[in-house]
Amino acid sequence: MSDSYDINNGTVVLKGPLKEDSNGNYTIIVEIKNDNLKKNKSLNIEIVFSPKISITANSSNVYEGDSLVINCNVSGNPTPTIKWKKNDQDLNFTGSHLQIAKLKKSDDGLYYCFAENSVGSKNKSLNLSVKVKAAITSFENISVIEGREASLICIVRGSPLPNVTIEANDGQFSNSTQVQKTSNTIEISVNISLKNITFGDSGEYICGVTQKDESYLEFNKTAHLKVFAQPFVFINETKVKTVQSTTTDLFCFVHSNQSINVNWFKDGEVVTNKNVTNHVHNDSVTTSILRIDASENMFGNYSCAIVFINETFTAKMELVRLMPPNRPLNVSCIATQDSAELVIFVDASGESEIDSVLYNGSAINPLGKSSLSKTINVTEFNNSATIIIRIPNLKSGTIYSFDLTVKNKAGESELINVEVKTQNGSFANPQSESGFSIVMRFVMATVVTLLIYGTLIMFMHWKKNKNARRRRTLSINAFQNVELLNCSPHCLDISKRYSLHQL
């Protein structure tokens, strides 16, 4: 640059326009013509100006997982300082090249580059939109119990949002199908709800995905729906009675064609598996046995449970302390010449059971006493309140005294005594004799009447009155061989139904 300038009062005025590249060293030469005096002086002139800025990226079409560099091109004098922001958030970076190594969808946003010096400040922005290639993030196989509900859910991630459909492999859905779609900026979910599922709903279902962008993407995934029959858990007793000193086994049965693990609980707490044994039978029944060691804490509420396809199936039972039987309420007897039947009325309430009847008897006659005793195991009750036992080989015309107790594993009841006389004798308790006698007289008289009627039918027309008198006599004599002791009206009915037909 070489120009001549006039000096006015010692001031040199440089004529413009000055530019950014006008920076540099300048030499001022002062020449006084009249004196042939020439002087020069060097000086540095610096041009200052506010920042100029531009922002670019190395790619305009980026996908999740790619790398990206955002360039902030800045000029200015003095040299500007650079700052970055994403949306309204400051970034801890001051360079001119912002690098993002592995893009995520969350990197979407407006990126600002700020440049500032003493003269001024400028900023520029770049909008970043990260694309996501469509991908199925969830479409799982489903197992369900027949008759229940199920949902086939296909979740697809992608940006721009793809189109998603679910189809049955055979193209058919049940009438109870409901389709629901939900989405946000990056994810779409399609839900197929099936109600009252049948075995016909089992099979393959296809989730299809298409995404249209600069390129066309299409793919699918298959899920399987399996339908199972409902398992059944059952027990043979809801209340198990035992004594404290006895090891007890509880049984639980599971009917299912699948492999089933049975868990046991006592009062809501899990029972250790070391006491559990499982057996699988050929008929798809699993038998689980819980062995309970004898202890004071063995009694309580037990349950066996299985978990099958997120459902719990349970059977409950109670283990209670077995108590000794109560004293029999009453005993009634029916005797013939050589045997007796005892109808024992027991108390069926409470936590007691009866396993056996023990009797000790003695024959009483003028010649002395003879004793007999026996324990009879009870295998069958006539009903919940009575036990009938038969005592054979008795002597005719003899009075017997029997002491009876009922027993179980926990102990035996108090004694109850009953006396009976065979053949033509009478029972010790006359209170109920009259009531029973009426019934017996009627029954025996009817039987004898029929026999006589069959043999004497030829004489019925002209000996009607005589035969009637004889029937009354025979009925009285026949009844003398059968008597009943301690018989209430209820006892009378039981005895008539269970014993008289055996005489």
Handedness of CA 436, 482, 501, 446 (dihedral sign): negative
Q: Model confidence over 298-335: pLDDT tens digits?
A: 999 999 999 999 999 999 999 999 989 888 888 888 88
CATH number at residue 238: 2.60.40.10
Indicate if 99 and 78 belong to the same structural domain: yes
User: Which residues are within 8 A (CB) of 385 and not within 5 positions of it... i.e. 6 or more apart?
Assistant: 345, 346, 348
Cα→Cα distances 194→127, 148, 156, 364, 498, Å: 44, 9, 20, 83, 60
Read off the tokens for 153: 């859910």
Asked if residues 159 and 211 have their Cβ atoms less than 8 Å apart, the reply is: no
Indicate if 219 and 157 belong to the same structural domain: yes
Indicate if 392 and 345 belong to the same structural domain: yes
Indicate if 274 and 316 belong to the same structural domain: yes
Q: Model confidence over 39-90: pLDDT tens digits?
A: 666 666 677 889 999 999 998 889 999 999 999 999 998 999 999 999 999 9
Read off the tokens for 13: 């005025």
Indicate if 418 and 333 belong to the same structural domain: yes
Indicate if 219 and 239 belong to the same structural domain: no
Is 488 within the bounds of a domain? no
Residue 482 to residue 42: CA distance in whole angstroms: 158
Q: Could you tell me which of 123, 103, 104, 96 has the C-alpha nearest to residue 112? A: 123
Is 479 within the bounds of a domain? no
Residues forming a β-bridge with 222: 206
Read off the tokens for 37: 């005096």
pTM, 2 dp: 0.58
CA 316 to centroid of chain Cα atoms: 14
Residue 71 to residue 91: CA distance in whole angstroms: 15
Is 485 within the bounds of a domain? no
Asked if residues 168 and 205 have their Cβ atoms less than 8 Å apart, the reply is: yes
Q: Could you tell me which of 228, 88, 238, 61 has the C-alpha nearest to residue 160? A: 61
Is 491 within the bounds of a domain? no
Under the banding of pLDDT at 50, 70 and 90, the label for residue 216 is confident
- Helix/strand/coil for 388: strand
Asked if residues 326 and 350 have their Cβ atoms less than 8 Å apart, the reply is: yes
Predicted local confidence at residue 13, as pLDDT: 58
The yes-or-no verdict on residue 294 having pLDDT over 90 is no
Q: Model confidence over 465-485: pLDDT tens digits?
A: 443 333 322 222 322 333 333
Per the structure, the count of domains in the chain is 5
Residue 115 to residue 488: CA distance in whole angstroms: 115
Residue 424 to residue 124: CA distance in whole angstroms: 130
Indicate if 334 and 417 belong to the same structural domain: yes
Indicate if 300 and 353 belong to the same structural domain: no
Under the banding of pLDDT at 50, 70 and 90, the label for residue 346 is confident
Is 165 within the bounds of a domain? yes
Indicate if 315 and 387 belong to the same structural domain: no
- End-of-domain residue from the set 272, 293, 321: 321
Residue 50 to residue 78: CA distance in whole angstroms: 8
Under the banding of pLDDT at 50, 70 and 90, the label for residue 120 is very high
The yes-or-no verdict on residue 19 having pLDDT over 60 is yes
Residue type at position 77: N
- End-of-domain residue from the set 288, 321, 354: 321
Is 460 within the bounds of a domain? no
- Helix/strand/coil for 183: strand
Instruction: Give the residue numbers spanning the domain of 416.
Output: 329-422
Q: What is the mean pLDDT of the chain?
A: 77
Indicate if 391 and 413 belong to the same structural domain: yes
Is 119 within the bounds of a domain? yes
Indicate if 414 and 378 belong to the same structural domain: yes
Is 428 within the bounds of a domain? no
Kindly state the average pLDDT of the residues 162-181: 77
Residue 473 to residue 481: CA distance in whole angstroms: 14
Indicate if 239 and 310 belong to the same structural domain: yes
- End-of-domain residue from the set 227, 261, 278: 227
Q: Which residue has the higher pLDDT, 155 or 433?
A: 155
